[in-house]
Amino acid sequence: VAFSRRTNLPSFLTRFFTGGARWSHCAVADEERGVFIEALMFKGVIETPFATWTLKYPSYEVVKIDCPAPITALNFARAQVGKGYDYLGAVGVPWRTPWHFENRWYCSELVEAALQHGGRLRWRLTKRGVSPMESWLVL
């Protein structure tokens, strides 16, 4: 899993509204294909080549998160490519709302869903928004 931030306004606002967080974005690393699977506003869930991704995010950290079935987690993330962005879910993160559109994802929601499908449930509360920074904190 990769965690990152940019120097643009959406990144700043995400970090501000989640308590001055270090990270504003995250993605699933697909080493086999050499891409990050990420959910982006205006694009939805896409695959971004490693080289492109690392140029786009000047500050990032790639972290290995163990899960019982990593191939299942990766296959879940791959199956989400082409789905839309979950704007309502992303807006609800600071307020811990259960807002969520099925078959749409924001970045940390996608990462946590992939990990959950791989057998690594990291949150007791399933109906709350998880920010990228919170996802990073529970490594």
Q: Are 13 and 75 in contact (CB under 8 A)?
A: no
At 115-125, the pLDDT tens digits run 999 998 776 55
Separation between Cα atoms, residue 90 and residue 79, nearest integer Å: 20
Q: Which of 43, 62, 35, 55 lies closest to 106, judged by CA?
A: 43
Please spell the DSSP secondary structure of 17-62, one letter per residue: HTTS-S-SEEEEEETTTTEEEEEETTTEEEEEEHHHHHHH-SEEEE
Q: Are 81 and 38 in contact (CB under 8 A)?
A: no
Residue indicated by tokens 């990769």: 2
Q: In which residue ranges of the chain is pLDDT below 50?
A: none
Q: Which of 125, 124, 78 lies closest to 105, judged by CA?
A: 78
> So what's the pLDDT on residue 6?
78
> So what's the pLDDT on residue 53?
93
> So what's the pLDDT on residue 27?
96
Q: pTM value?
A: 0.85
Contact residues for 3 (Cβ-Cβ < 8 A; gap 6+):
22, 23, 25, 26, 60, 61, 62, 63, 132, 133, 135, 136
